Amino acid sequence: MKALVFAIRSFGRELRSGEVLVLLAAVVLAVAALTAVGFLTDRIGKAVARQANEVLAADLRLRSQDPIPDSWREEADGYGLRTADMVAFPTVVYLGDNSALSTISAVSAGYPLRGTVRISEELFGDEHDADGIPRPGEVWVDSSLMARVSGKVGDVLDIGTAQLTISAIITYRPDQSIGFASLAPTLLMNEIDVPGSGLIGEGSRVRYALLVAGDHSRVAEFNDAIEDELPDSLRLRSAEESSERAFAAADRAQRFLSLTAVISLLLSAVAIAMSARRFAHRRMDTVALMKSLGATQGFVIAVAMLQLVLVGIIGVVLGSLLGFGAELVLSWILADIIAGDLPKPGLTPVVLASGSALVLLVGFALPSLIQLRDTPPLRVLRHDAMPPSPSRIFVAGISLGAVALLLYQSVGDAMLLIIMLSGMIFIAAALYLVGRALVDTMGRFRSGVGIAWRYGLANVARRGRASAVQVVAFGLGLTVLLLLTLVRTDLLEGWRRTLDENAPNQFLINIQRDEVVSVANIFASRNIAPPNFSPLVRARMTSINGESVKDREYPTRDAEWFVNRQQNLSWAQTLSASNEILAGEWWPDDYSGPPLVSIEEEVSVETGISIGDKLQFEIAGQELEAEIASVRKINWDSFQPNFFLVLSPGALDDYPATFIASMRIEPAERSALAALVRAHPTISVIDLDSILQQVRGIIEKASLAVQAVFFFTLAAGIAVLFAAVQSTIDERRFESAMLRALGARKRIVFSGVMAEFAALGAAAGILASAGASILAAVVAVKLFNLPYTFNPMLWVAGMTAGVVVVCASGFFAARGAINSAPVDVLRGAGA
Amino acid sequence: MSSNESGTNAVLSAVTLSKQVSSPEGSLTILSDVTFDIGSGESVAVVGPSGAGKSTLLALLAGLDLPTSGYVTLNGVNLSELDEDGRARVRAESVGFVFQSFHLVPSLNALENVMLPLELASHANPRVAAMDIIEQVGLADRYRHYPAQLSGGEKQRVAIARAFATAPAVLFADEPTGNLDTRTGSTIMDLMFELNRRSSTTLILVTHDTALAERCDRIISLDGGNLVSDSRVAA
């Protein structure tokens, strides 16, 4: 109780005198930065995920070949989620004498739950967002169906026994990319009209889907709840598996945001550690005095702890407010990008940020405060009497571990955490050792330089250990900032490539072998580069290494689904530029041996099918066996046709094949597409522009998030540097006063201090460049699947940034010390 | 309480006190076999050249440090038998300090500095008691000033007020005028002796100012760590 009263009283006094302000500022900044970054990652992460979910037109899709029992809909309702129904089946539609096979999608009100359908009133005309779904008695059809039946808006189609009027042309459906390789022209109708068509009966190939969407966390809960209960006939589909392309971008954005959160936390750790050191150090004299006046160890430690708790509470409150304010401002700036119906960010970031900051505070300040307990009272008489050093590494290690756990809770990316934390520990150790060596070396150069540099370098060398600690703090700060800059640049660069102006924007499917030449000619005659055609053969996998695929055990449901579904096989002589061989070898150009097959990496991992396995397929009643020769990684950003299974040349020659192609069509050239579908009504054209728009939307949001979060982290980094300089400010104040008392002009003293910072900054900058280069290489390759290119400019940038930023921080931090009147400082020293 | 040779009650006793420290050149003896008793209310000057062991003796007598051999009793309690917290409690109850370099807490103002030992000793009304003693040292109008805003003499007055605030049995003063000019030093010492007389505190004064030493009842001289003389000052 006495300690509490005393702690509160003296804390108030110390607040007034500014004693605890540096530590408090570090905590406030840490909480603010972590909260703001957390809010942003949370919110923008949700925005990105939601946009990516558009490809499902929902957050989750339950699919089945039988009508989906109402119990699932009711269960979703129970979670407060929105639902919509979809029934899809192939049928032939007629318009007068014209007919065409098409895929009918009958939907209920509410569809699509995510994204919007866009329609136009004439073929390849201006599009606009659709309001709801087709009214009963009306249908919306896509351009290829329209071309095939030579229809126009207002015509009446015979669909089974029903007669429905075409009221619009669909230009975009959010879920159009689902399984587009098997897509026939699409027709969208109202669910109400289905019974009247008489098309759904025994033996029809109907697929039913229940679309589910709602609050992010509720969807996740619903997903978890039903996942294990699903009967075999029902398959759950989330957005991740539906669009690798959109998700490659979204996933990287999420990872970058996570990386930024981790980096903010590490920076906060360094800032808090530096200021906690100073906090404890400055208390040493007071503690010795209190002990000489009769304070017990328990009292001293209780007071220190209570004050730490007070710093923590005030820091958390102020920091959360600041972070919340920053988030409000950012949300306002990003308003048009963060969709209006986005759920409010949860309190999680505040809790997480506060928790992390408190753990850091305790972890990094406690050892120094425990050290205070052992301050000998003799220090009042002999100033060199010091307490024994505590085992900082042990306690700091524990607190870092606790923080890592906290981060794992929110980020959930073990790989990222392991790389970052171990990388940072390794770099900190290296920084310390090399820092000490550099400090020693620098000290030796001082006889050959002017007075300012001599004083500066002498200072660096004299404070050997402290200087090395500063190099570590500066260095770590710079390392993560450089790392972030590098990764951010690489990431944006990679995305820009995705958004390549020349990226294909049209997919042509269902091209017959004898149509290939004619199709190429249609484009060539209009001076448009003809597309590259990829063959496609429909097959079913029957057995793996002689064992029936039905009898095999699979690690996941997805794997089981994959081997049992209809396979799209292709063959190629050369490896596509968007593919990379991970294991095994691609066949030589002139290969003509027994059939070989190359499998996509994730499918290989999921199904457990690997090199040397023999796959048997059934293709149009014939058997084919092929051996796995290689495992490939596919760059889904490329917008090229890609296949999970690619066979060697000749392997599929005897089987019926169709071709698919991708190409770029500029808006002015779109008439070529109309000519194409008129000349070849069975070919489907899929307009990728809409999907590209989708991806572009995701990437724009992600880039913006990356930039915003980057600047926040930058601020935290500068705070670290400031804290590092602040930690030596008392000594500096006294020294500069003394030098000035000895007759040194202010300018000389100032130059000396700047020389010291420049030397420290350069040392830290070089070391940080090395650290960031290595870490960036690991992060780029392991986490972002981006190729890493060595960048020599990094070293120049690192060193320059080191000198400039450290000198600037030093200037602002040390200015007061140098400007204060020597007499005040020297007087104050004898307080 | 033990008795000294003169039969008066000893408040402080040093018994065969020795202190050795290890140095790069081997073990170094700072204080060797020092024995004396100090009676209640006595004022004793400890004198000697630099390096004689004066400050070490003071640290041992106040329980700030422990002797290599021998022991100290303060108010009848053997300090060597106590742990650090035990010695701290003894100091809180019975000891006051005045240091050469004042040792005021820079973040506390004059009044708060004086309140510090009172608060540590759980005094019922530290503010009133501190204000009372601040008035006695003549700083009533400057009690809200911080150490950096006070002159050397004023700082030492605050330090003296702080030392006397708890009415300690023993007051240790380590070169209290060392950082002050002669005139201020003399005023400060007048104040200290006056307070000492009023509160019948035992005063142990480390100094190498002979004139100052002669104002005490008794002078203990150290040289090279040995006690060379222990004499009463003629009244």
Q: What is the DSSP string of B52-83?
A: SSHHHHHHHHTTSS--SEEEEEETTEEGGGS-
Mean pLDDT across the stretch A767-784? 80
- A643, A662 contact by CB (below 8 A): no
Mean pLDDT across the stretch A382-401? 67
Mean pLDDT across the stretch A530-539? 85
Average pLDDT of chain B, as a whole number: 86
Mean pLDDT across the stretch A343-354? 71
Confidence category of residue B4, pLDDT binned at 50, 70, 90? very low
Chain B closest-CA separation from residue A81 CA (Å)? 59
Chain B closest-CA separation from residue A453 CA (Å)? 32
- Taking Cα atoms as reference points, which of A307, A295, A306 lies closest to residue A373? A295
What is the token pair recorded at A379? 């220090």
pLDDT the model gives residue A425: 81
Helices and strands (DSSP H and E) totals, chain A: 22, 22
Q: A289-328 as b/e, with b when 16 or more CB fall inside 10 Å?
A: bbbbbbbbbebbbbbbbbbbebbbebbbebbbebbbebbe
- A645, A609 contact by CB (below 8 A): no
- The 10s digit of each residue's pLDDT in A355-386 is 878 887 877 777 777 777 788 888 877 766 66
* Max Cα distance, chain B (Å): 53
Mean pLDDT across the stretch B86-98? 88
pLDDT at B1 over 50: no
How many contacts, defined by CB atoms under 8 Å, are there between A and B?
A: 99
Contact call for A376 and B64, based on CB within 8 A: yes
Contact call for A293 and B99, based on CB within 8 A: no
A378 contacts chain B (CB < 8 A): yes
| Least confident residue range of A76-85, A188-197, A410-419, A672-681 | A410-419
pLDDT at A795 over 80: yes
pLDDT the model gives residue A7: 77
Residue of B95, B101, B103, B113 for testing the chain A interface, max A β-carbons within 10 Å: B103
Average pLDDT of chain A, as a whole number: 77
Count the residues in chain A: 831
pLDDT the model gives residue B222: 93
Residues of B with CB under 8 A from a CB of A: 55, 58-59, 62, 64-65, 84-85, 88-93, 95, 97, 99, 101-109, 112, 116-117, 119-122, 146-148, 152, 155, 162, 174, 179
CA distance B137 to A578: 88
A291 contacts in B (CB within 8 Å)?
A: 84, 88
A12 contacts chain B (CB < 8 A): no
Domain ranges for chain A: 2-50+247-498+695-829, 60-213, 506-687
pLDDT the model gives residue A471: 75
Contact call for A290 and B116, based on CB within 8 A: yes
A824 contacts chain B (CB < 8 A): yes
Mean pLDDT across the stretch A673-687? 75
* Rounded CA Rg of chain A: 34
Chain B closest-CA separation from residue A466 CA (Å)? 24
Output A480 or A703, whichever has higher pLDDT.
A480
pLDDT the model gives residue A390: 57
pLDDT at A498 over 70: no
Q: B86-125 as b/e, with b when 16 or more CB fall inside 10 Å?
A: ebbbbbbebbbbbbbbbbbbbbbbbbbbbbbbbbbbebee
List Cα–Cα distances, A594 to A549, A611, A626, A628, B32, in angstroms. 22, 15, 7, 11, 100
What is the token pair recorded at B152? 């050397």
pLDDT at A245 over 90: no
Output A19 or A405, whichever has higher pLDDT.
A405
SS3 content of chain A, % helix, strand, coil (to 5): 60, 15, 25
pLDDT the model gives residue B129: 92
pLDDT the model gives residue A672: 83
pLDDT the model gives residue B158: 92
Confidence category of residue A144, pLDDT binned at 50, 70, 90? confident
Helices and strands (DSSP H and E) totals, chain B: 7, 10
Highest mean pLDDT pick, A456-465, A538-547, A754-763, B172-181: A538-547
The predicted complex's ipTM stands at 0.84
pLDDT at A342 over 60: no
- The 10s digit of each residue's pLDDT in A407-449 is 776 666 777 778 877 887 888 888 888 777 877 776 676 666 6
pLDDT the model gives residue A552: 82
Query: How many percent of chain A have pLDDT more than 70?
Result: 74
Confidence category of residue A232, pLDDT binned at 50, 70, 90? low
pLDDT the model gives residue A307: 84
pLDDT the model gives residue B72: 95
- ω before A345 within 30° of 0 (cis)? no
SS3 content of chain B, % helix, strand, coil (to 5): 35, 30, 35
Contact call for A831 and B155, based on CB within 8 A: yes
A14 contacts chain B (CB < 8 A): yes
Contact call for A831 and B64, based on CB within 8 A: no
Confidence category of residue B7, pLDDT binned at 50, 70, 90? very low
How many other C-beta atoms can be found within 10 angstroms of the C-beta atom of residue A332? 9
Chain A closest-CA separation from residue B65 CA (Å)? 6
Q: Enumerate the β-bridge partners of residue A172.
A: A118
CA distance A419 to A786: 16
pLDDT the model gives residue B79: 92
Q: Looking at chain A, which residue has its C-alpha nearest residue B118?
A: A293
CA distance A262 to A436: 27
Confidence category of residue A731, pLDDT binned at 50, 70, 90? low
Picking from A9, A294, A297, the nearest residue to B91 by CB comes out as A294
CA distance A447 to A257: 48
pLDDT the model gives residue B203: 92
B104 contacts in A (CB within 8 Å)?
A: 831
pLDDT the model gives residue A50: 65
pLDDT at B212 over 90: no
A197-201 own/partner pairs: CB under 8 Å, 24+ apart? A197/A159, A197/A160, A197/A161, A197/A162, A198/A160, A198/A161, A198/A162, A199/A89, A199/A91, A199/A104, A199/A159, A199/A160, A200/A87, A200/A89
pLDDT the model gives residue A179: 43
Output A103 or B9, whichever has higher pLDDT.
A103
Chain B closest-CA separation from residue A438 CA (Å)? 28
Chain A closest-CA separation from residue B97 CA (Å)? 8
Q: What is the DSSP letter of A350?
A: H
| Least confident residue range of A232-246, A249-263, A745-759 | A232-246
Picking from B99, B117, B152, the nearest residue to A294 by CB comes out as B117
Contact call for B117 and A298, based on CB within 8 A: no
Q: Looking at chain B, which residue has its C-alpha nearest residue A385?
A: B65
Contact call for A294 and B62, based on CB within 8 A: no
Picking from B92, B104, B147, the nearest residue to A294 by CB comes out as B92
Chain A closest-CA separation from residue B6 CA (Å)? 31
Q: Looking at chain A, which residue has its C-alpha nearest residue B159?
A: A831
Mean pLDDT across the stretch B226-235? 85
Query: How many percent of chain A have pLDDT more than 90?
Result: 7
Residue of A290, A292, A379 for testing the chain B interface, max B β-carbons within 10 Å: A292
Picking from A2, A13, A296, the nearest residue to B107 by CB comes out as A13
Angle ∠(A285,A287,A292) on CA atoms, nearest 5: 95
Q: What is the DSSP letter of A338?
A: S
Output A57 or A77, whichever has higher pLDDT.
A77
Highest mean pLDDT pick, A100-109, A268-277, A400-409: A100-109
Picking from A19, A290, A292, the nearest residue to B107 by CB comes out as A19
- Taking Cα atoms as reference points, which of A92, A98, A116 lies closest to residue A152? A98
Query: How many percent of chain B have pLDDT more than 70?
Result: 96
Domain ranges for chain B: 10-232
- A26, A719 contact by CB (below 8 A): yes
pLDDT the model gives residue B3: 41
- A736, A816 contact by CB (below 8 A): no
- A282, A733 contact by CB (below 8 A): no
CA distance B229 to B207: 15
A734 contacts chain B (CB < 8 A): no
pLDDT the model gives residue A696: 65
Confidence category of residue B6, pLDDT binned at 50, 70, 90? very low
CA A38, A44, A49, A53 torsion: positive or negative? Answer: positive
Confidence category of residue A614, pLDDT binned at 50, 70, 90? very high
Contact call for B146 and A378, based on CB within 8 A: no
Whether the pTM exceeds 0.80: the reply is no
- The 10s digit of each residue's pLDDT in A622-656 is 889 999 999 998 876 666 778 889 999 888 888 88
| Least confident residue range of A35-39, A316-320, A661-665 | A35-39
B108 contacts in A (CB within 8 Å)?
A: 10, 13, 17
Picking from A17, A292, A296, the nearest residue to B107 by CB comes out as A17
Mean pLDDT across the stretch B36-62? 90
| Least confident residue range of A211-215, A547-551, A812-816, B105-109 | A812-816
Picking from B85, B93, B108, the nearest residue to A298 by CB comes out as B85
Say which CATH topology domain B10-232 has.
Answer: Rossmann fold (3.40.50)
| Least confident residue range of A31-45, A147-161, A583-597 | A31-45
